[in-house]
Amino acid sequence: MLCPFCKSQDSKVLESRYTVDKASIRRRRECEACKKRFTTYEKIEFFSVFVIKRNGAKEKFSRKKLLKSIKLAGKKCNISIETKEEFVNDLEISFFANSQKEITSEILGQNVLEFLKNYSHIAYIRYYSIFQSLKTPSELVNELNSLLNDFSIDTSML
């Protein structure tokens, strides 16, 4: 590991610990040459997974992009960031466990919808309306009715 200050290759690890999501290891290091301290992060690098978009284009899977879309759908809903990150971690692990190098955006979106449906109906509807590219209010009403039926929600209160 090169020291960011003096570019020496000799450093010693003072402390190691897992990050909150346990997806990487944080290491506190000290340069043997200049004695300055710095932090590094170590993460397992898996093979790349590609998302096949509806138009047929392929795009490298972006954990950050997926998490951002889930956060946006779940904004002001009571889904903790830890829960969202754990979902994305589990999804990534499933790709690698199954040696899955490609996934369609349709399957990826369905996984997100299943996750959101278990935590917040509002987040589910928000994500669904964008994921399915709803064009009319009646399409949204149809999905709301389906959601109400799935959960036997009393509609007399609405």
Q: Six-digit token pair at 135?
A: 């064009």
| Range of lowest pLDDT (68-82, 92-106, 140-154) | 140-154
C-beta neighbour count of 112 within 10 angstroms: 22
Determine contact, residues 150/113, Cβ cutoff 8 Å: no
Per the structure, the complete domain to which residue 129 belongs is given by 50-157
Q: Are strands 102-104 and 58-60 parallel, antiparallel or unpaired?
A: unpaired
What pLDDT is recorded for position 36? Answer: 97
Domain shared by 73 and 33, yes or no: no
Domain-located, residue 5: no
Amino acid at 125: I
Closest CA to 59 of 50, 72, 69: 50
Is the pLDDT score of 157 beyond 50? Answer: no
Domain shared by 16 and 91, yes or no: no
Give the 3-state secondary structure of residue 113. helix
Question: How many domains does one find in the chain?
Answer: 2
Read off the pLDDT of residues 2-42 as tens digits, 9 standing for 90 and up. 999 999 999 999 999 988 767 789 999 999 999 999 999 88
